[in-house]
Amino acid sequence: MSTITLASGLNQLGLDLPADAQQKLLAFRDLLLKWNKTYNLTALRDPAQAISHHLLDSLAILPHVGDGPLLDVGAGGGLPGIPLAIVRPALSVSMVDTVQKKATFLQQAAIELGLKNVAVHHARVEEMRGQYAQISSRAFAEIGLFIELTRHLLAPGGRWLAMKGVRPDDEIAALPADIVVEKVIPLHVPGLDAERHLILLKAGS
């Protein structure tokens, strides 16, 4: 398995990040792996693999992330929410998870990394309030369920960003008639030899 450095991966993604953002990304990786020993936040244990499978995988969607407030659902270990918050300090990033220990980790990571643009919610997403211009998920649920649970939180004109592995044609075919698939974007994640797709969706009128 090929390993890749963060700088090399960012270069391949066409991302030019300041040194402090790169340092924070690596500090987040270290925090995630440290807490993982107790909290089981990710199946990965290898620091090199975490760069491609977590950091670069999260940042591959960056060109498709807009400016409005973003809610990351089933945030787990903070992917993609925390990497996005690190590289886009002006972006308001909220993360929600039903598991208390995961929410505790996210809160601690935001404090230790000095991320003033992050809010963490320990809640069931269907019971949350508020309006978000963008709602993301990574390996949270099938797309139809993701939309059903979060529809009340999507601001008018907002969109969903569903991160998937293999292109989920069956899930797309099963969506309600009023859900519009804007784009299905194949993602190329440096150092990751697996299919990745981003599905952008919005509610039709």
Query: What span, in angstroms and rounded, lies between the C-alpha atoms of 39 and 129?
Result: 28
Query: What span, in angstroms and rounded, lies between the C-alpha atoms of 185 and 83?
Result: 20
Instruction: Note the pLDDT of residue 2.
Output: 52
**Which residues sit in the known binding site for S-adenosyl-L-methionine?**
74, 79, 125-126, 138
Query: What span, in angstroms and rounded, lies between the C-alpha atoms of 185 and 198?
Result: 5
Query: What span, in angstroms and rounded, lies between the C-alpha atoms of 23 and 26?
Result: 5
**Which residues sit in the known binding site?**
74, 79, 125-126, 138
SS3 state of residue 194: coil
Q: Which two structure tokens, joined as six digits, stand for 182? A: 């804007």
Name the band, by pLDDT with cuts 50, 70 and 90, for residue 40: confident
Beta strand pairing status for 196-203 and 154-164? antiparallel
Predicted model pTM: 0.96
Q: What angle do CA 120, 140, 203 make, to 5 degrees?
A: 90
Query: What span, in angstroms and rounded, lies between the C-alpha atoms of 74 and 180?
Result: 23
Query: What span, in angstroms and rounded, lies between the C-alpha atoms of 106 and 100?
Result: 10
How many other C-beta atoms can be found within 10 angstroms of the C-beta atom of residue 52? 24
Query: What span, in angstroms and rounded, lies between the C-alpha atoms of 73 and 125?
Result: 7
Q: What is the pLDDT of residues 3-18, one digit of tens each?
A: 689 999 999 999 999 9
List the beta strands (DSSP E) in 79-178.
93-97, 118-122, 132-138, 154-164
Residue 92 has pLDDT above 70, yes or no: yes
Mean pLDDT of 172-193: 96
DSSP, res 200: E
CATH number of this structure's domain 6-203: 3.40.50.150
